[in-house]
Structure 1
Amino acid sequence: MGNQPRTVSALLAEVHGAVDEVRAVAKAEHDSARQGAANWLDRLFGDVGTRAELRVAAKMALVLWGGMGSFSDANTREDGAAIDRLGRALTRARRSWFVREG
């Protein structure tokens, strides 16, 4: 895994940090749809505590991230960076079969 997060808590922190960045960019750009998506992601990952729950939440989130053009299509450089960061975090969370609990 190299320098990738090795615990569920670390992956959750990465996801939450990426969601916070998306929210901040959306707020600055007055993008209520992305702000709503960030809120939804907060709720989705809010009660996650196990590796299995993390993978399920990430799978659901990736449907939103990749499936809605209005969310995954970037309008600005800042938007693109935040969305890319979120995509990487969600992908790592989805592939968390071997991370430690905790």
Structure 2
Amino acid sequence: MTTARWQAQLDDVRRAIAQLRAACAADGDARRASSADWLGGLFEDVADAESLQQSARQALGLYTGGMGSFHDVGTATMASAVDALRTTLHSARNDRR
């Protein structure tokens, strides 16, 4: 994957995390806000395509359930944010170009 490509994907992931944070604030969802903070830290020091893919793989664990997970959502705002994040994480994890 080219440098421009993985950096663009990282930007997409960070935008999706920001969208998630906004949804958490709108919904007053402290547990998912904590997860969003964790995600922000996870992608803070990404320096190459491999670390982007590893971070995306780890982040997708939030979709399996548990406290603060993204397994179920209660509002359309949160659903939109969670779906956008999932899409960007899958793209970042799977891109081999």
User: Normalising by the residue count of structure 2, what TM-score does the alignment of the two structures yield?
Assistant: 0.89
Q: Which amino acid aligns with 1:16?
A: R
Q: Which residue of 2 aligns with 1:3?
A: none
SS class of match (1:47): coil
Runs of 4+ in 1 over 3 A off after TM superposition: none
Q: Percent identical across equivalent pairs?
A: 33
Q: Which amino acid aligns with 1:82?
A: A
Q: Which residue of 1 aligns with 2:15?
A: 17
- Aligned equivalents of 2:92, 2:18: Cα separation in 1: 16
| Paired residue total | 92
Alignment root-mean-square deviation, CA: 1.2
User: 1:41-90, CA deviations, whole angstroms, 9 ceiling, x for partnerless residues?
Assistant: 010000001111011000000012x1125522110111110000000000
SS class of match (2:43): helix
Q: Which residue of 2 aligns with 1:84?
A: 83
Whether 1:96 and 2:92 are equivalent positions in the alignment is no
**Unmatched 5+ residue regions in structure 1?**
1-5
